[in-house]
């Protein structure tokens, strides 16, 4: 766990230095577009909710309307948040995949020639990975929800945060795991064996998107870059290599 935090700190420094040099800034554009749409939805939803609460002063009826509006808003907010996560992890996966590859080249000197077929395969694999990750996340969350009914709220919220962070973190690391030759099952094996890394990276993403407006715009880019840097550090790769090394999960350092 200590080494995981050290690698993340080093990764954050590497990401910061690259961005301060003006590198990879255009990758924020897709996130800006998606984030702007999401922010607009939130703004409109809050306006509707405010209108519903305008009747709060009306006895009984006003309270009932406000309570119903809060419930509906919470449901739609959850749906919107999950849809945003889906868009970031699936629809923007080609962009995130290219970013991860470019940042890998920047850090290690590895050269990756553009290959449309490989990019398409990466996209299809990412869909499979994300769908399986989201499915497993919801299964775990559903199981834990049953236990959360009889435990304090702060414990339940913490566990929910950790479960969501793990699967989000894993999804971002998979860009690198695929690039270095880990198949579907070995990627999952590495994800669970390096759980602390998945939790920290996913936790950073989850916390960043809670920052009003700017968080949902910058979180995908920063997390894709951070997971790439940490993956390299985690495997103790040298900073300059002419070609990528295909590694099996069993050969990864603990």
pLDDT tens-digit readout, 81-126:
767 777 777 778 888 888 999 999 999 988 877 667 766 776 777 7
Task: Compute and round to an integer the Cα radius of gyration of the chain.
Answer: 20
Nearest to 38 by CA among 222, 212, 225: 212
Q: How far apart are CA 166 and CA 153, in angstroms?
A: 20
Query: Do residues 184 and 128 lie in contact, with contact meaning Cβ atoms separated by under 8 Å?
Result: yes
Is the pLDDT at 40 greater than 90? The verdict is: no
Q: Which distant-in-sequence residues (6+ apart) come within 8 Å of 206 by Cβ?
A: 161, 164, 165, 168
pLDDT of residue 209: 83
In the chain, what is the greatest distance between 2 CA atoms, to the nearest angstrom?
73
Q: What is the distance between the alpha carbons of residues 217 and 208, in angstroms, rounded to a whole number?
A: 9
CA–CA distances in Å: residue 165 to residues 107, 133, 161, 199, 226: 25, 11, 6, 5, 14
**Whole-number Å distance between alpha carbons of 182 and 103:** 19
* Beta carbons of 163 and 144 less than 8 angstroms apart: yes
pLDDT over 70 percentage in the chain: 72
Q: pLDDT, tens digit, for every residue of 8-38?
A: 999 999 999 999 999 999 999 988 888 788 7
- What tokens were used for 26? 């255009």
Tokens matching residue 70? 């809060």
Lowest mean pLDDT among 147-156, 177-186, 217-226: 147-156
Closest listed residue to residue 172, CA positions, set 116, 99, 239: 99
pLDDT band at 238 (very low <50, low <70, confident <90, very high): very low
Q: What pLDDT score does 127 carry?
A: 75
**235 DSSP 8-state letter:** T
Question: When comparing pLDDT for 179 and 91, which is higher?
Answer: 179
pLDDT in tens, 66-82: 666 666 666 666 666 76
Residue 227 token pair: 């997971």
Q: Which pLDDT does position 230 carry in this prediction?
A: 96
Residue spans of the domains in the chain: they are 26-243
Residues 6+ apart with CB under 8 A from 178: 122, 125, 126, 187
Locate tokens 């709060």: which residue? 56
CA atoms within 13 A on the CB side of 21: 9
């Amino acid at each position: 766990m200590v080494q995981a935090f050290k690698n993340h700190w080093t990764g954050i420094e590497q990401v910061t230095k690259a961005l301060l040099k003006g590198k990879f800034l255009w990758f924020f554009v897709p996130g800006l577009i998606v984030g702007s749409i999401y922010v607009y939805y939130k703004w409109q939803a809050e306006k509707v909710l405010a209108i519903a609460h305008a009747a709060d002063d009306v006895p009984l009826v006003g309270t009932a309307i406000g309570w119903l509006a809060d419930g509906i808003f919470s449901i739609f907010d959850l749906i919107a948040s999950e849809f945003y996560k889906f868009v970031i992890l699936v629809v923007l996966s080609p962009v995130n995949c290219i970013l991860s590859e470019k940042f890998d080249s920047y850090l290690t000197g590895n050269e990756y020639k553009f290959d449309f077929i490989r990019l398409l395969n990466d996209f299809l694999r990412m869909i499979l990975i994300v769908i399986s990750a989201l499915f497993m996340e919801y299964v775990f969350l559903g199981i834990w929800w049953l236990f959360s009914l009889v435990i304090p709220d702060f414990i339940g919220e913490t566990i929910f945060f950790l479960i969501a962070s793990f699967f989000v973190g894993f999804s971002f690391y998979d860009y690198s795991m695929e690039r270095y030759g880990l198949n579907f099952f070995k990627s999952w094996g590495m994800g669970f064996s390096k759980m602390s890394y998945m939790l920290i990276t996913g936790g950073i993403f989850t916390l960043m998107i809670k920052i009003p407006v700017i968080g949902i715009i910058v979180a995908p880019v920063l997390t894709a870059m951070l997971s790439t840097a940490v993956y390299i550090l985690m495997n103790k790769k040298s900073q300059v290599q002419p070609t990528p090394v295909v590694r099996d999960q069993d050969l990864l350092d603990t």
